[in-house]
Amino acid sequence: PAYLRRYPFAMVRLEPGSDQIALCYDSEWAGFSEEKGEALFGADGEPTEFLLNAKNFLESFEQEVERTRMACEELMALDLLQDMRFDATLPSGEKLEVDGFLALDEKKYAELADEHVLRLHRNGLLSLLEMHRLSMNNMSRLATRHDTQA
């Protein structure tokens, strides 16, 4: 949801590997208007509160993207992720197939050495892994719920 909510704005690195970033926007987006809506810049040429809020949101978003990248690197280094596929037959008889995602390898997770478990705990990943496990257990329930609502 945050990825979608940030649109039509985005942060872009000015050079690969650089810490310099720029706030960009899709100037062709139909939601932009020169006659109505929120101004991006004030009469003085300075960013408005609206634009500053967008910038702050994007900076937080980029920090979370970086945290996610680092977490994935850690999980990949520990070889805890595996390709997954989810298949369900809904009560209506409709088949639901979802693939192309990674999930926790439960066997490798259970066999993880104590020092790795402690490191995952200290860097906050252990609780995220437990939330992931709970989420995965809810996939069938969500599919059934989706079918009921449809």
Q: What is the pLDDT of residues 48-75, one digit of tens each?
A: 999 999 999 999 998 898 899 999 999 9
Nearest Cα to Cα of residue 24 among 4, 36, 7, 46: 7
Q: Are 94 and 116 in contact (CB under 8 A)?
A: no
pLDDT by residue (tens digit) across 12-52?
888 888 888 899 999 899 988 888 889 999 999 999 999 99
Tokens of 73: 């690197």
Buried b (16+ CB within 10 A) or exposed e, 84-105: eeeebebeeeeebeeeeeebbb
pLDDT by residue (tens digit) across 73-115?
999 999 999 999 988 887 788 888 889 999 999 999 999 999 9
Q: Are 128 and 134 in contact (CB under 8 A)?
A: no
Tokens of 52: 């500053």
Give the Cα separation of 93 and 45 in Å (integer): 59
74-to-100, 128, 149 alpha-carbon distances in Å: 20, 13, 38
